[in-house]
Amino acid sequence: MTVHRTIELIAPSGYPHDPEAVHRALQRFHAQGHRVEGVEVTKRRYQRFAGTDGERAADLNRLADPARALPDIVLAVRGGYGAARILHGLDYEGLQRRLTDQPVALVGHSDFTAIQLALLARAGVKTFGGPMITSDFGAEELSEFTLQHFWSALTKPTMTVTGTTPQAHAVNVSGMLWGGNLAVLTSLIGTPYMPPVQGGILFLEDVNEQPFRVERMIYQLHLSGILAQQQALVLGDFSGGKAYDYDNGYDLHAMIEQVRSVIGIPVVTGLQFGHVHNMLTLPVGAEAHLVADAHGFKLNLSGYPTLA
Catalytic residue, chosen from 109, 149, 222, 275, is: 275
Question: Count of CB atoms within 10 A of residue 111's CB?
Answer: 23
Catalytic residue, chosen from 8, 13, 109, 110, is: 110
Closest by CA position to 221, among listed 176, 262, 253: 262
pLDDT of amino acid 136: 97
Question: What are the residue ranges of CATH 3.50.30.60 in the chain?
Answer: 159-302
Burial 197-232 (b: 16+ CB within 10 A, else e): beebbbbbbbbebbbebbbebbbbbbeeebbeebbb
Q: How far apart are alpha carbons 197 and 279 in whole angstroms?
A: 25
CATH of domain 159-302: 3.50.30.60
Question: What are the residue ranges of CATH 3.40.50.10740 in the chain?
Answer: 6-157
For helices 53-61 and 92-99, the axis angle rounded to 10 degrees is 30
| Contact predicate 42/16, CB 8 Å | yes
CA angle, corner 182, sides to 254 and 216, nearest 5?
Answer: 45
Q: Where are the beta strands (DSSP E) in 194-286?
A: 201-205, 232-235, 267-269, 282-284
Residue 119 host element (H or E): helix 113-123
Q: For residue 289, list its beta bridge partners.
A: 174, 300
CATH fold for the domain made of 6-157: Rossmann fold (3.40.50)
**Digitized pLDDT (tens) for each residue of the chain, 308 residues in all:** 578 999 999 999 999 999 999 999 999 999 999 999 999 999 999 999 999 999 999 999 999 999 999 999 999 999 999 999 999 999 999 999 999 989 999 999 999 999 999 999 999 999 999 999 999 999 999 999 999 999 999 999 999 999 999 999 999 999 999 999 999 999 999 999 999 999 999 999 999 999 999 999 999 999 999 999 999 999 999 999 887 899 999 999 999 999 999 999 999 999 999 999 999 999 999 999 999 999 999 999 999 999 98
Spatial strand order of the sheet with 201-205 comes to 158-163, 296-302, 287-293, 171-181, 201-205, 232-235, 267-269
Is 287 an active-site residue?
no
pTM attached to this predicted model: 0.97
Closest by CA position to 302, among listed 182, 101, 159: 159
Is 253 an active-site residue?
no
Is 261 an active-site residue?
no
Catalytic residue, chosen from 205, 209, 215, 222, is: 205
Q: What is the pLDDT of residues 10-46, one digit of tens each?
A: 999 999 999 999 999 999 999 999 999 999 999 999 9
